[in-house]
Amino acid sequence: MRAVYLPTKNNLIKLQNTIKQRKSGQKLLEDKSLILKRKLEEYKIKKEKLQQQLNEVLSHAQGALNKAIVDVGFDELIDISNAIKKDNSISVKYLSVMGVEMPSCIYQEQELEPNYGLYHTTVEVDESIIDFTNLKKIIIKLAEVDDSIVELKKAIEKNERRSKALKEIIIPKDEDLARKISSTLEEAEREEFTRMKVVKQSSKFFVGDSPI
């Protein structure tokens, strides 16, 4: 709810200070938006590079997988994949960047254990397993970057809404109110000056007419 300012000098000073603070705050919001936009561009570049890596590793992994299927057969490959120990060593923490909660995925890579030793494997099978493990790491990093981009976009949009509201609505209204109060005070001062002038002239008149 907006404060109601009576047309007094004290309230005018308070309002002028409020306007000054809001202009300073609006400038800080603009600066923050610029920093967040630069950060967003950095993450977009990261995403582009990761996407390229993902495509390359995926292509290689699919090639190795096709060769592995030819070597040992599809059913055998399914049994081998089921024998591989599941890796759940992923945790997520959040870091604050300019007030934006950014995800940081922590993946503790575990050494691959040959749990599938009883199965008939080939170099292509081993290569396929390694490729898909590398693919997993890239996907984790890509998910982190993707989520960071979403959070940055939301923060920039929110920040710019606040900045625009201050710049185009709140500050102009306050400045308009300050002008009205200032005008009212100036008018009151003129009226007071005129009144005092009349009083002074009247006093001179009565003093001049009084008998000595």
* Gyration radius of the chain's alpha carbons: 37
Rounded CA-CA distance 80/82 in Å is 5
State the DSSP code for 5.
Answer: -
Residue 107: phi and psi, rounded to 5, are -115, 110
Looking at residue 180, its pLDDT comes to 93
Is the pLDDT at 3 greater than 80, yes or no?
no
Q: Whole-number mean pLDDT of the chain?
A: 85
DSSP 84: S
Q: Which two tokens stand for residue 99?
A: 């007030």
Mean pLDDT along residues 47-63? 94
Model pLDDT, residue 75? 84
Q: Which of 2-11, 61-70, 109-118, 155-164 has the highest mean pLDDT?
A: 155-164
pLDDT at res. 118: 46
Domains and CATH numbers, the chain: 28-171 (1.10.287.3240)
pLDDT at res. 4 = 60
CA atoms within 13 A on the CB side of 21: 6
Closest listed residue to residue 170, CA positions, set 35, 12, 15:
15
pLDDT at position 209 is 52
pLDDT in tens, 113-142: 555 554 556 788 888 888 888 898 999 999
Query: Per mean pLDDT, which range of 92-101, 147-156, 202-211 is the poorest?
Result: 202-211
- 147-166 tens-digit pLDDT: 999 999 999 999 999 999 99
**Would you state the pLDDT for residue 111?**
63
Q: Which residues pair with 91 in a beta bridge?
A: 106
pLDDT at 146: 95
pLDDT band per the 50, 70, 90 thresholds, residue 177:
very high
The confidence band for 1, taking pLDDT boundaries of 50, 70 and 90, is: very low
The count of C-alpha atoms lying within 13 angstroms of the C-alpha of 157, restricted to the half-sphere facing its C-beta, is 6
| Residue 23 and residue 175 in contact, taking contact as beta carbons nearer than 8 Å | no
The pLDDT of residue 74 is: 83
| For residues 26-54, average pLDDT | 96
